[in-house]
């Protein structure tokens, strides 16, 4: 399990647990992946592997917002697959999708979330799953004894600023576009009346 998850279960601060991992003072076995991430193997919380491998699937979910980012989508999928292999997953599935992270109109993700055989979902960044309320999705998965693994759980300020700018630009374009359309419609009506 991830350091953050274990720290939450043990009522510890994640920074303390990371310090213990680096110093070799963890009371339970830990493992460092090639990507530099720490995994905690606490027998108290580890669930035994299901007897039927078909009942439990690990899926890597990659997403980009637009079709012109196809190259980034492939690179993202490759990084996720490499991460899953480094975790010991024998044959990780990769699902790649192009769609907005601002709404729920993503068929492939909806299919994964509704499939109970998908016990582990791996995403590169939290915003690849959803721009907003990804924590709610994670809580829902936990309630079903499923888990979400975020490879890089750090929030980048540059991305947040860029996302906010994109949202504001979108809202402004819609607002001003409606006004312009209204004015064009009024001008067309006036032109018809004048003829």
Tens of pLDDT, residues 45-82: 776 554 454 578 999 999 988 888 888 899 999 999 99
Q: Is the pLDDT at 24 greater than 90, yes or no? A: no
Question: What is the C-alpha to C-alpha distance for residues 106 and 62, in angstroms, rounded to an integer?
Answer: 12
Question: What is the C-alpha to C-alpha distance for residues 150 and 129, in angstroms, rounded to an integer?
Answer: 9
Are the C-beta atoms of residues 94 and 100 closer than 8 Å to each other?
no
pLDDT at 78: 92
pLDDT at 154: 67
Rounded percentage of the chain residues whose pLDDT exceeds 70: 85
Is residue 56 annotated as a catalytic residue, yes or no?
no
Confidence of residue 123 (pLDDT cuts 50, 70, 90): very high
Which one is catalytic: 65, 86, 114, 139?
A: 65
Confidence of residue 94 (pLDDT cuts 50, 70, 90): very high
CA atoms within 13 A on the CB side of 48: 3
Are the C-beta atoms of residues 29 and 39 closer than 8 Å to each other?
no
pLDDT at 169: 67
Q: What is the pLDDT of residues 97-118, one digit of tens each?
A: 988 777 778 889 888 888 889 9
- Give 68 or 182, the one with higher predicted confidence: 68
pLDDT at 48: 56
Confidence of residue 195 (pLDDT cuts 50, 70, 90): low
- Give 101 or 18, the one with higher predicted confidence: 18
Mean pLDDT of the chain, nearest integer: 81
pLDDT at 27: 86
Question: What is the C-alpha to C-alpha distance for residues 29 and 112, in angstroms, rounded to an integer?
Answer: 31
């Amino acid at each position: 399990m991830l350091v953050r998850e274990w720290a939450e279960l043990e009522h510890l601060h994640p920074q303390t647990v990371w310090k213990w991992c680096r110093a070799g003072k963890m009371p339970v076995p830990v493992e460092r992946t090639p990507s530099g991430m720490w995994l905690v193997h606490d027998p108290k919380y580890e669930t035994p592997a299901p007897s039927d491998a078909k009942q439990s699937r690990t899926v890597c979910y990659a997403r980009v917002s637009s079709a012109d980012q196809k190259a980034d989508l492939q690179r993202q999928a490759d990084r996720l697959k490499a991460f899953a292999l480094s975790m010991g997953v024998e044959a990780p599935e990769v699902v790649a999708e192009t769609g907005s992270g601002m709404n729920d109109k993503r068929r492939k993700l909806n299919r994964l979330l509704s499939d109970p055989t998908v016990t582990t979902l791996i995403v590169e960044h939290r915003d690849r799953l959803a721009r907003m309320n990804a924590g709610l999705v994670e809580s829902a998965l936990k309630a079903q004894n499923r888990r979400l693994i975020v490879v890089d759980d750090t929030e980048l300020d540059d991305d947040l600023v860029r996302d906010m700018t994109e949202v504001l630009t979108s809202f402004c374009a819609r607002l001003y576009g409606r006004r312009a359309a209204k004015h064009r419609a009024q001008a067309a009506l006036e032109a018809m009346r004048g003829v």
